Structure 1
Amino acid sequence: MSIAFLLTALIVVATPGTGVVYTLAAGLSRGRRASVVAAFGCTLGIVPHLLATVTGAAALLHASATAFQILKYAGVAYLLYTAWATLRDKDALGVESGTMPVSAGRTIVRGVLINLLNPKLTMFFFAFLPQFVDPGEPRALPRMLALGGVFMLVTFVVFAVYGVLAASVRRRITSRSQVMTWLRRGFAGSFMALGAKLLTADR
Protein backbone atom coordinates (compact mmCIF):
# COMPACT_ATOMS: atom_id res chain seq x y z
CA MET A 1 0.00 0.00 0.00
CA SER A 2 1.63 3.25 -1.14
CA ILE A 3 1.53 6.57 0.67
CA ALA A 4 0.62 8.18 -2.66
CA PHE A 5 -2.53 6.06 -2.89
CA LEU A 6 -3.60 6.87 0.67
CA LEU A 7 -3.01 10.61 0.22
CA THR A 8 -4.87 10.67 -3.10
CA ALA A 9 -7.78 8.72 -1.63
CA LEU A 10 -7.92 11.01 1.41
CA ILE A 11 -7.98 14.15 -0.74
CA VAL A 12 -10.67 12.76 -3.04
CA VAL A 13 -12.87 11.59 -0.15
CA ALA A 14 -12.42 14.71 2.01
CA THR A 15 -13.43 17.02 -0.85
CA PRO A 16 -17.06 18.01 -0.14
CA GLY A 17 -19.55 16.25 -2.37
CA THR A 18 -22.98 14.64 -2.24
CA GLY A 19 -21.96 12.05 0.35
CA VAL A 20 -20.42 14.65 2.65
CA VAL A 21 -23.50 16.88 2.43
CA TYR A 22 -25.82 13.94 3.15
CA THR A 23 -23.75 12.79 6.14
CA LEU A 24 -23.56 16.30 7.58
CA ALA A 25 -27.33 16.66 7.24
CA ALA A 26 -27.86 13.33 9.01
CA GLY A 27 -25.55 14.37 11.85
CA LEU A 28 -27.30 17.70 12.32
CA SER A 29 -30.79 16.26 12.16
CA ARG A 30 -30.50 12.98 14.06
CA GLY A 31 -27.16 12.88 15.87
CA ARG A 32 -24.02 10.76 15.90
CA ARG A 33 -25.58 7.36 15.28
CA ALA A 34 -27.49 8.58 12.24
CA SER A 35 -24.38 10.23 10.82
CA VAL A 36 -22.40 7.00 11.13
CA VAL A 37 -25.26 5.04 9.52
CA ALA A 38 -25.38 7.60 6.68
CA ALA A 39 -21.62 7.28 6.21
CA PHE A 40 -22.03 3.51 6.03
CA GLY A 41 -24.76 3.85 3.38
CA CYS A 42 -22.62 6.17 1.25
CA THR A 43 -19.74 3.71 1.55
CA LEU A 44 -21.95 0.81 0.42
CA GLY A 45 -22.88 2.89 -2.62
CA ILE A 46 -19.26 2.65 -3.76
CA VAL A 47 -19.38 -1.18 -4.09
CA PRO A 48 -21.17 -1.33 -7.50
CA HIS A 49 -18.72 1.19 -8.97
CA LEU A 50 -15.75 -0.79 -7.68
CA LEU A 51 -17.16 -4.06 -9.04
CA ALA A 52 -17.93 -2.40 -12.37
CA THR A 53 -14.32 -1.30 -12.58
CA VAL A 54 -12.68 -4.61 -11.77
CA THR A 55 -15.06 -6.63 -13.96
CA GLY A 56 -14.60 -4.40 -16.99
CA ALA A 57 -18.10 -2.88 -17.01
CA ALA A 58 -16.49 0.50 -16.51
CA ALA A 59 -14.88 0.14 -19.92
CA LEU A 60 -18.34 -0.39 -21.43
CA LEU A 61 -19.74 2.60 -19.56
CA HIS A 62 -16.77 4.65 -20.74
CA ALA A 63 -17.31 3.56 -24.35
CA SER A 64 -21.09 3.91 -24.33
CA ALA A 65 -22.29 7.50 -24.27
CA THR A 66 -25.88 6.31 -23.88
CA ALA A 67 -25.16 4.24 -20.77
CA PHE A 68 -23.26 7.10 -19.20
CA GLN A 69 -26.01 9.64 -19.98
CA ILE A 70 -28.77 7.41 -18.56
CA LEU A 71 -26.94 6.95 -15.27
CA LYS A 72 -25.97 10.61 -15.15
CA TYR A 73 -29.54 11.87 -15.59
CA ALA A 74 -30.80 9.40 -12.98
CA GLY A 75 -28.24 10.82 -10.56
CA VAL A 76 -29.22 14.40 -11.37
CA ALA A 77 -32.90 13.59 -10.87
CA TYR A 78 -32.23 12.02 -7.48
CA LEU A 79 -30.12 14.97 -6.31
CA LEU A 80 -32.84 17.43 -7.35
CA TYR A 81 -35.44 15.31 -5.58
CA THR A 82 -33.29 15.33 -2.44
CA ALA A 83 -32.98 19.12 -2.65
CA TRP A 84 -36.76 19.49 -3.05
CA ALA A 85 -37.44 17.10 -0.15
CA THR A 86 -35.02 19.02 2.07
CA LEU A 87 -36.74 22.33 1.32
CA ARG A 88 -40.22 20.89 1.76
CA ASP A 89 -39.62 19.16 5.08
CA LYS A 90 -39.22 21.90 7.66
CA ASP A 91 -38.46 19.28 10.30
CA ALA A 92 -35.71 17.68 8.21
CA LEU A 93 -32.97 19.28 10.30
CA GLY A 94 -34.82 19.48 13.56
CA VAL A 95 -33.74 17.73 16.74
CA GLU A 96 -36.07 14.82 17.27
CA SER A 97 -38.13 14.98 20.43
CA GLY A 98 -40.74 12.28 20.69
CA THR A 99 -41.16 12.00 16.94
CA MET A 100 -40.67 8.86 14.89
CA PRO A 101 -37.00 8.73 13.86
CA VAL A 102 -35.92 7.83 10.36
CA SER A 103 -34.99 4.14 10.31
CA ALA A 104 -31.39 3.04 9.83
CA GLY A 105 -32.47 1.10 6.75
CA ARG A 106 -33.97 4.16 5.12
CA THR A 107 -30.90 6.23 5.96
CA ILE A 108 -28.64 3.58 4.43
CA VAL A 109 -30.76 3.28 1.26
CA ARG A 110 -30.60 7.04 0.73
CA GLY A 111 -26.84 7.00 1.19
CA VAL A 112 -26.44 4.09 -1.23
CA LEU A 113 -28.55 5.81 -3.89
CA ILE A 114 -26.60 9.05 -3.60
CA ASN A 115 -23.33 7.32 -4.52
CA LEU A 116 -24.85 4.60 -6.72
CA LEU A 117 -26.35 7.17 -9.10
CA ASN A 118 -23.04 8.95 -9.63
CA PRO A 119 -21.37 7.70 -12.83
CA LYS A 120 -18.29 9.78 -12.09
CA LEU A 121 -17.39 7.31 -9.34
CA THR A 122 -17.04 4.52 -11.89
CA MET A 123 -15.01 6.81 -14.12
CA PHE A 124 -12.87 7.74 -11.14
CA PHE A 125 -12.11 4.12 -10.27
CA PHE A 126 -11.51 3.32 -13.94
CA ALA A 127 -8.84 6.04 -14.14
CA PHE A 128 -7.60 5.91 -10.55
CA LEU A 129 -7.05 2.28 -9.52
CA PRO A 130 -4.98 1.11 -12.53
CA GLN A 131 -2.35 3.74 -11.74
CA PHE A 132 -1.44 1.81 -8.59
CA VAL A 133 -1.49 -1.69 -10.11
CA ASP A 134 1.19 -3.17 -12.38
CA PRO A 135 -0.61 -4.50 -15.49
CA GLY A 136 1.78 -7.45 -15.56
CA GLU A 137 1.18 -8.34 -11.94
CA PRO A 138 -0.33 -11.85 -11.68
CA ARG A 139 -2.56 -10.79 -8.77
CA ALA A 140 -3.74 -7.53 -10.33
CA LEU A 141 -7.44 -8.24 -9.69
CA PRO A 142 -7.07 -9.01 -5.95
CA ARG A 143 -4.84 -5.95 -5.60
CA MET A 144 -7.45 -3.69 -7.23
CA LEU A 145 -10.11 -5.10 -4.91
CA ALA A 146 -7.83 -4.50 -1.93
CA LEU A 147 -7.17 -0.90 -2.99
CA GLY A 148 -10.89 -0.39 -3.48
CA GLY A 149 -11.50 -1.75 0.00
CA VAL A 150 -9.01 0.72 1.44
CA PHE A 151 -10.72 3.54 -0.45
CA MET A 152 -14.06 2.49 1.04
CA LEU A 153 -12.58 2.39 4.54
CA VAL A 154 -11.16 5.88 4.10
CA THR A 155 -14.57 7.03 2.83
CA PHE A 156 -16.38 5.62 5.84
CA VAL A 157 -13.94 7.08 8.38
CA VAL A 158 -13.84 10.57 6.82
CA PHE A 159 -17.62 10.76 6.32
CA ALA A 160 -18.25 9.51 9.86
CA VAL A 161 -15.88 12.15 11.27
CA TYR A 162 -17.74 14.85 9.30
CA GLY A 163 -21.07 13.59 10.61
CA VAL A 164 -19.99 13.21 14.24
CA LEU A 165 -18.53 16.71 14.25
CA ALA A 166 -21.81 18.05 12.87
CA ALA A 167 -23.75 16.08 15.49
CA SER A 168 -21.61 17.54 18.29
CA VAL A 169 -22.93 21.03 17.59
CA ARG A 170 -26.47 20.12 16.52
CA ARG A 171 -28.30 21.28 19.66
CA ARG A 172 -26.61 24.67 19.63
CA ILE A 173 -27.51 25.10 15.98
CA THR A 174 -30.93 23.46 15.77
CA SER A 175 -32.31 25.48 18.68
CA ARG A 176 -32.23 28.57 16.45
CA SER A 177 -35.01 28.47 13.89
CA GLN A 178 -33.50 31.12 11.61
CA VAL A 179 -30.19 29.30 11.50
CA MET A 180 -31.99 26.06 10.70
CA THR A 181 -33.93 27.70 7.89
CA TRP A 182 -30.73 28.90 6.25
CA LEU A 183 -29.03 25.57 6.86
CA ARG A 184 -31.92 23.74 5.20
CA ARG A 185 -31.74 26.11 2.24
CA GLY A 186 -27.96 25.70 2.17
CA PHE A 187 -28.15 21.91 2.05
CA ALA A 188 -30.86 22.05 -0.61
CA GLY A 189 -28.75 24.50 -2.61
CA SER A 190 -25.73 22.22 -2.24
CA PHE A 191 -27.66 19.25 -3.61
CA MET A 192 -28.91 21.37 -6.53
CA ALA A 193 -25.40 22.66 -7.24
CA LEU A 194 -24.00 19.13 -7.15
CA GLY A 195 -26.79 18.02 -9.48
CA ALA A 196 -25.96 20.85 -11.89
CA LYS A 197 -22.28 19.91 -11.75
CA LEU A 198 -23.12 16.29 -12.53
CA LEU A 199 -25.43 17.42 -15.36
CA THR A 200 -22.58 19.25 -17.09
CA ALA A 201 -20.10 16.42 -16.55
CA ASP A 202 -18.78 14.59 -19.59
CA ARG A 203 -16.90 11.36 -19.84
Structure 2
Amino acid sequence: MIGFEFLLTSAVVVITPGAGVLFTVSTGLCQGRLASFYAALGCTLGIVPHMAATALGLAAVMHAGAMAFQLLKLAGVAYLLYLAVATWRDRAAFAASAAVQALKPLTLVGKAVLLNLLNPKLTLFFMAFLPQFIAPSDPAPMLSFALLSLVFMGMTLMIFALYGVLAHAFRQRVMTSPTIQNNLRRSFSAAFAAMAGKLALSER
Protein backbone atom coordinates (compact mmCIF):
# COMPACT_ATOMS: atom_id res chain seq x y z
CA MET A 1 0.00 0.00 0.00
CA ILE A 2 2.72 2.47 1.03
CA GLY A 3 5.08 1.70 -1.80
CA PHE A 4 7.95 3.53 -3.43
CA GLU A 5 5.67 5.05 -6.07
CA PHE A 6 3.45 6.64 -3.43
CA LEU A 7 6.41 7.99 -1.45
CA LEU A 8 8.11 9.38 -4.55
CA THR A 9 4.96 11.02 -5.89
CA SER A 10 4.14 12.49 -2.49
CA ALA A 11 7.66 13.84 -2.12
CA VAL A 12 7.46 15.55 -5.51
CA VAL A 13 4.09 17.10 -4.60
CA VAL A 14 5.34 18.36 -1.22
CA ILE A 15 8.70 19.64 -2.48
CA THR A 16 7.12 21.60 -5.32
CA PRO A 17 6.98 25.23 -4.11
CA GLY A 18 3.52 26.51 -3.28
CA ALA A 19 1.89 28.92 -0.87
CA GLY A 20 2.76 26.72 2.13
CA VAL A 21 6.42 26.47 1.18
CA LEU A 22 6.56 30.19 0.50
CA PHE A 23 5.03 31.01 3.88
CA THR A 24 7.39 28.64 5.72
CA VAL A 25 10.47 29.99 3.95
CA SER A 26 9.50 33.62 4.48
CA THR A 27 8.85 32.89 8.16
CA GLY A 28 12.28 31.25 8.48
CA LEU A 29 13.93 34.26 6.88
CA CYS A 30 12.03 36.76 9.01
CA GLN A 31 11.86 35.06 12.39
CA GLY A 32 14.24 32.14 12.50
CA ARG A 33 14.28 28.36 12.60
CA LEU A 34 11.81 27.77 15.43
CA ALA A 35 9.21 30.09 13.91
CA SER A 36 9.56 28.30 10.57
CA PHE A 37 8.86 24.99 12.32
CA TYR A 38 5.60 26.39 13.71
CA ALA A 39 4.73 27.55 10.21
CA ALA A 40 5.48 24.07 8.84
CA LEU A 41 3.38 22.53 11.60
CA GLY A 42 0.47 24.83 10.80
CA CYS A 43 0.65 24.04 7.08
CA THR A 44 0.62 20.34 7.96
CA LEU A 45 -2.38 20.70 10.28
CA GLY A 46 -4.13 22.66 7.54
CA ILE A 47 -4.27 19.41 5.58
CA VAL A 48 -6.53 17.77 8.17
CA PRO A 49 -9.81 19.52 7.18
CA HIS A 50 -9.25 18.57 3.54
CA MET A 51 -8.47 15.01 4.54
CA ALA A 52 -11.62 14.87 6.67
CA ALA A 53 -13.73 16.36 3.88
CA THR A 54 -12.47 13.71 1.48
CA ALA A 55 -13.05 10.91 3.98
CA LEU A 56 -16.62 12.08 4.60
CA GLY A 57 -17.39 12.37 0.91
CA LEU A 58 -17.65 16.13 0.98
CA ALA A 59 -14.92 16.44 -1.63
CA ALA A 60 -17.28 15.00 -4.22
CA VAL A 61 -19.87 17.60 -3.27
CA MET A 62 -17.32 20.40 -3.60
CA HIS A 63 -16.15 19.02 -6.92
CA ALA A 64 -19.71 19.05 -8.22
CA GLY A 65 -20.76 22.32 -6.65
CA ALA A 66 -19.22 25.22 -8.52
CA MET A 67 -20.48 27.78 -6.02
CA ALA A 68 -18.80 26.10 -3.03
CA PHE A 69 -15.52 25.84 -4.91
CA GLN A 70 -15.66 29.46 -6.08
CA LEU A 71 -16.39 30.81 -2.59
CA LEU A 72 -13.49 28.90 -1.05
CA LYS A 73 -11.25 29.94 -3.93
CA LEU A 74 -12.11 33.63 -3.48
CA ALA A 75 -11.37 33.39 0.23
CA GLY A 76 -7.99 31.84 -0.59
CA VAL A 77 -7.25 34.58 -3.13
CA ALA A 78 -8.11 37.27 -0.58
CA TYR A 79 -5.84 35.72 2.05
CA LEU A 80 -2.91 35.39 -0.35
CA LEU A 81 -3.35 39.04 -1.36
CA TYR A 82 -3.39 39.99 2.32
CA LEU A 83 -0.06 38.16 2.79
CA ALA A 84 1.32 39.95 -0.29
CA VAL A 85 0.38 43.40 1.03
CA ALA A 86 1.54 42.65 4.58
CA THR A 87 4.91 41.37 3.32
CA TRP A 88 5.35 44.41 1.05
CA ARG A 89 4.61 46.87 3.85
CA ASP A 90 6.74 45.22 6.57
CA ARG A 91 10.09 46.82 5.77
CA ALA A 92 11.72 45.46 8.94
CA ALA A 93 10.66 41.86 8.38
CA PHE A 94 13.87 40.67 6.72
CA ALA A 95 16.30 42.82 8.69
CA ALA A 96 18.78 40.46 10.34
CA SER A 97 20.12 43.25 12.53
CA ALA A 98 16.71 44.01 13.99
CA ALA A 99 15.58 42.40 17.19
CA VAL A 100 13.63 39.23 16.44
CA GLN A 101 10.09 39.62 17.62
CA ALA A 102 8.67 36.18 16.95
CA LEU A 103 4.96 35.77 16.75
CA LYS A 104 3.33 33.59 19.34
CA PRO A 105 3.40 29.93 18.26
CA LEU A 106 -0.39 29.68 18.15
CA THR A 107 -0.57 32.76 15.93
CA LEU A 108 1.95 31.35 13.48
CA VAL A 109 0.27 27.96 13.43
CA GLY A 110 -3.13 29.59 12.98
CA LYS A 111 -1.99 31.67 10.00
CA ALA A 112 -0.45 28.62 8.35
CA VAL A 113 -3.55 26.47 8.98
CA LEU A 114 -5.73 29.17 7.44
CA LEU A 115 -3.44 29.33 4.41
CA ASN A 116 -3.94 25.65 3.62
CA LEU A 117 -7.56 25.58 4.77
CA LEU A 118 -8.43 28.16 2.10
CA ASN A 119 -6.83 26.14 -0.67
CA PRO A 120 -9.66 24.34 -2.53
CA LYS A 121 -7.17 22.49 -4.71
CA LEU A 122 -5.99 20.54 -1.67
CA THR A 123 -9.33 18.81 -1.20
CA LEU A 124 -9.48 17.94 -4.88
CA PHE A 125 -5.89 16.69 -4.64
CA PHE A 126 -6.82 14.33 -1.82
CA MET A 127 -9.83 13.09 -3.76
CA ALA A 128 -7.87 12.45 -6.96
CA PHE A 129 -4.46 11.39 -5.60
CA LEU A 130 -4.77 9.15 -2.56
CA PRO A 131 -7.51 6.81 -3.85
CA GLN A 132 -5.14 5.70 -6.61
CA PHE A 133 -3.07 3.91 -3.98
CA ILE A 134 -5.98 2.10 -2.35
CA ALA A 135 -6.81 -1.24 -3.93
CA PRO A 136 -10.50 -1.82 -4.81
CA SER A 137 -10.28 -5.10 -2.91
CA ASP A 138 -8.92 -3.44 0.24
CA PRO A 139 -11.01 -4.76 3.19
CA ALA A 140 -10.49 -1.52 5.15
CA PRO A 141 -10.21 1.32 2.63
CA MET A 142 -10.82 4.08 5.18
CA LEU A 143 -8.03 2.77 7.38
CA SER A 144 -5.72 2.71 4.37
CA PHE A 145 -6.80 6.24 3.44
CA ALA A 146 -6.04 7.46 6.97
CA LEU A 147 -2.63 5.77 6.96
CA LEU A 148 -1.69 7.23 3.56
CA SER A 149 -2.86 10.67 4.69
CA LEU A 150 -0.77 10.51 7.86
CA VAL A 151 2.30 9.52 5.86
CA PHE A 152 1.68 12.41 3.47
CA MET A 153 1.30 14.80 6.41
CA GLY A 154 4.50 13.49 7.99
CA MET A 155 6.40 14.10 4.76
CA THR A 156 4.91 17.58 4.54
CA LEU A 157 6.05 18.46 8.05
CA MET A 158 9.59 17.14 7.53
CA ILE A 159 10.13 18.72 4.11
CA PHE A 160 8.60 22.07 5.12
CA ALA A 161 10.70 22.09 8.29
CA LEU A 162 13.79 21.47 6.14
CA TYR A 163 12.84 24.42 3.96
CA GLY A 164 12.63 26.52 7.12
CA VAL A 165 16.08 25.38 8.32
CA LEU A 166 17.61 26.25 4.96
CA ALA A 167 15.90 29.63 5.01
CA HIS A 168 17.26 30.30 8.49
CA ALA A 169 20.78 29.38 7.34
CA PHE A 170 20.40 31.78 4.41
CA ARG A 171 19.30 34.51 6.80
CA GLN A 172 22.30 33.99 9.06
CA ARG A 173 24.78 34.15 6.18
CA VAL A 174 23.69 36.96 3.88
CA MET A 175 20.83 38.90 5.42
CA THR A 176 23.08 41.77 6.49
CA SER A 177 22.60 43.45 3.12
CA PRO A 178 19.76 46.02 2.95
CA THR A 179 19.58 45.44 -0.81
CA ILE A 180 18.99 41.72 -0.33
CA GLN A 181 16.42 42.44 2.38
CA ASN A 182 14.42 44.73 0.10
CA ASN A 183 14.69 42.38 -2.86
CA LEU A 184 13.49 39.42 -0.80
CA ARG A 185 10.60 41.41 0.68
CA ARG A 186 9.46 42.48 -2.77
CA SER A 187 10.00 39.01 -4.24
CA PHE A 188 7.95 37.25 -1.56
CA SER A 189 5.22 39.85 -1.84
CA ALA A 190 5.12 39.41 -5.62
CA ALA A 191 5.12 35.62 -5.25
CA PHE A 192 2.11 35.70 -2.89
CA ALA A 193 0.31 38.03 -5.33
CA ALA A 194 1.18 35.77 -8.27
CA MET A 195 -0.21 32.73 -6.44
CA ALA A 196 -3.38 34.68 -5.70
CA GLY A 197 -3.71 35.47 -9.41
CA LYS A 198 -3.06 31.86 -10.38
CA LEU A 199 -5.67 30.62 -7.91
CA ALA A 200 -8.17 33.24 -9.09
CA LEU A 201 -7.81 32.11 -12.71
CA SER A 202 -7.86 28.39 -11.94
CA GLU A 203 -10.71 26.12 -12.87
CA ARG A 204 -12.06 23.27 -10.83
Aligned residue in 1 for 2:173: 172
Question: What are the equivalent positions in structure 2 for 1:179-190 lying under 5 Å apart?
Answer: 179-190=180-191
Normalised by the size of structure 2, how large is the TM-score? Answer: 0.96
Aligned Cα root-mean-square deviation (Å) = 1.2
- Alpha-carbon deviation of 1:101? 2.3
User: Retained in 2: the 8 A contact 1:173–1:180?
Assistant: no
| Number of the residue aligned with 2:133 | 132
Structure 2 partner of 1:153:
154
| Inter-partner Cα distance in structure 2 for 1:135 and 1:195 | 37
Give, in whole Å, the separation in 1 of the partners of 2:100 and 2:6: 44
Q: Would the aligned equivalents of 1:24 and 1:166 in 2 still touch at CA under 8 Å?
A: yes
Q: 1:187-202 to 2 correspondence within 5 Å?
A: 187-202=188-203
Cα distance change of structure 1 residues 99 and 10 upon mapping to structure 2, 3 Å threshold: closer
- In the alignment, the residues of structure 2 paired with residue 161 and residue 60 of structure 1 have an alpha-carbon distance, to the nearest angstrom, of 35
Instruction: Name the counterpart of 2:82.
Output: 81
1:65-144 → structure 2 map (5 Å cutoff) = 65-95=66-96, 97-98=98-99, 100-144=101-145
- State how far apart, in whole Å, the 2-side matches of 1:158 and 1:101 are: 22
Q: What letter corresponds to residue 173 of structure 1 in structure 2?
A: V
CA contact (8 A) 2:31 2:101 kept: no
Number of equivalences = 203
Measured in 1, the distance between the counterparts of 2:157 and 2:118 equals 18
- Tell me by how many angstroms 1:120 deviates: 0.2
Cα displacement (A) at 1:21: 0.5
Distance in structure 1 (CA, Å) of the matches to 2:101 and 2:67: 42
- Indicate the residue corresponding to 2:61 in structure 1: 60
User: Are the aligned partners of 1:42 and 1:114 in contact in 2 as well (CA < 8 Å)?
Assistant: yes
Please list every run of 5 or more consecutive structure 2 residues that lacks an aligned counterpart in the other structure: none
CA distance in 1, matches of 2:58, 2:13: 22
- 8 Å Cα contact 2:95-2:178 kept in structure 1: no
Paired residue secondary structure (1:74):
helix
Identical-pair percentage: 49
- Residues 20-58 of structure 1 show CA distances to partners (whole Å, capped at 9, x for unaligned) of 111111111111111111100100000000111111010
CA distance in 2, matches of 1:96, 1:51: 43
CA displacement at 1:138 relative to structure 2:
1.9
Q: Distance in 1 between matches of 2:71 and 2:65?
A: 10
The letter for the 2-side match of 1:105 is: L
* Cα separation, partners in 2 of 1:97 and 1:183, compared to 1, 3 Å: closer
Contact 1:30 1:96 in 2 (8 A): no
Gaps in structure 1 of 5+ consecutive residues: none
For residue 23 of structure 2, give the secondary structure of its aligned residue in structure 1: helix
- CA deviations over 1:48-80 (Å, ceiling 9, x no partner): 001111110100000100000000000000000
Are the counterparts in 1 of residues 31 and 100 from structure 2 also a CA contact under 8 Å? no
Query: Is the partner of 2:137 in helix, strand or coil?
Result: coil
- Paired with 2:85 and 2:189, the residues of 1 have a C-alpha distance of 7
